[in-house]
Amino acid sequence: MTKINWKPGTMLSPLPPVLVSCGTVDKPNVMTVAWTGIICSDPVITYVSIRPQRFSHDIIKENGEFVINLPTWNMVTAVDFCGVKSGRDVNKFKEMNLTPLACPNVKAPQIAECPVSIECKLKSITNYGTHDMFLAEVVGVCVDDKYINEKGALDLEKAGIIAFAHGNYYTLGRNLGSFGFSVNKAKLKQMQKMEKVEVEVKPAHKKPVSDEGKKFSEKKRRSPFGRSPFHSRFKGKADAGKAPNKSFGPRKKLAKKPNKK
């Protein structure tokens, strides 16, 4: 194995592509942000890194509040649209059928369609070059009760949150184990069994194979992780997730050249 040395780059992935809402319920704006994360657990401190050119930049700077909303897979068009169109030119809430909802702790609106909305109060702004880092304290979290399971915990696997990795959006796929499984003997054994299975990548060209060979390759190709919950949705099978009752599709033509992150 040889590792190639590249110059510094924004290679960290996957990242959460979140919808950052700001302004007020009457005059809301929303932008997509991937440069975000948690800095401290108690108090809960987070950040979003925003270029000064963004319309949202000055709104958040002025109001000192914003909301980080976690979008679901069926909102991916809205996620992309809010990341290529500016609130200077369009009302992204209206265009994407998003609903601005009042928050209990901040004046900035949350997005009703997102299962989790994190209310943030600005602590500081630091410039690091292309981006300003908005450091903020989390002052409340609003959760859609339909994603709370029988144990009272938030079941985000059911919600279908998404990831952003090297320019593409992804669903999360299978749960591979919960926090600390590596020190639980039974759970570890289960995982090690899965880790050993080789997942073959399908070749681009089709070679004729014998019946014996066919059986073997079919068996080997089947993923040990099973089908993603989203597979059945796209195949339209019984019990598949229902189509979203709201359309998040853009009404107007998308921008030809997306803004640089």
Ligand X SMILES: Cc1cc2nc3c(=O)[nH]c(=O)nc-3n(C[C@H](O)[C@H](O)[C@H](O)COP(=O)(O)O)c2cc1C
Q: Which residues contribute to the site for ligand X (CB under 6 A)?
A: 17, 29, 31-35, 49-51, 54-56, 80, 83-88, 131, 164, 259, 261
Q: Which two tokens stand for residue 226?
A: 């099973």
Report the residue number whose CB is nearest to ligand X.
83
Nearer to ligand X by C-beta: 56 or 74?
56
Of all residues in the chain, what percent are helix, strand and coil, respectively (each to 5)? 25, 25, 50
Rounded to whole angstroms, how far apart are CA atoms 101 and 133? Answer: 25
- Cβ-based nearer residue to ligand X, 41 or 168: 168
115/142 Cα distance (integer angstroms)? 8
Residues 6+ apart with CB under 8 A from 202: 221
Nearer to ligand X, 17 or 250 (CB): 17
Yes or no: say if 67 and 20 are a contact pair by the CB < 8 Å rule.
yes
**Closest CB 93 distance from ligand X, rounded Å:** 11
- If the CB atoms of residues 38 and 209 are measured against ligand X, the closer one turns out to be 38
DSSP 8-state class, residue 189: H
Report yes or no: 159 and 170 within 8 Å, Cβ to Cβ: no
Residues in Cβ contact with 84 at an 8 Å cutoff, skipping those fewer than 6 apart: 254, 255, 258, 259
Q: How far is the CB of 62 from ligand X (least distance, A)?
A: 13
CB of 258 to ligand X, least distance (A): 6
Given the complex with ligand X, which of 133 and 240 has the nearer CB atom? Answer: 133
Measured CA to CA, the distance from residue 226 to residue 184 in angstroms comes to 23
Residue 99 or 232: the one with the smaller Cβ distance to ligand X is 99
Q: CA nearest 25: which of 80, 106, 95? A: 106
The least distance separating ligand X from the CB of residue 92, rounded to whole angstroms, comes to 7
The residue with tokens 């700077």 is 61
Q: Please, what is the minimum distance in Å from the beta carbon of residue 124 to ligand X? A: 17
Nearest distance, CB of residue 87 and ligand X, angstroms: 3
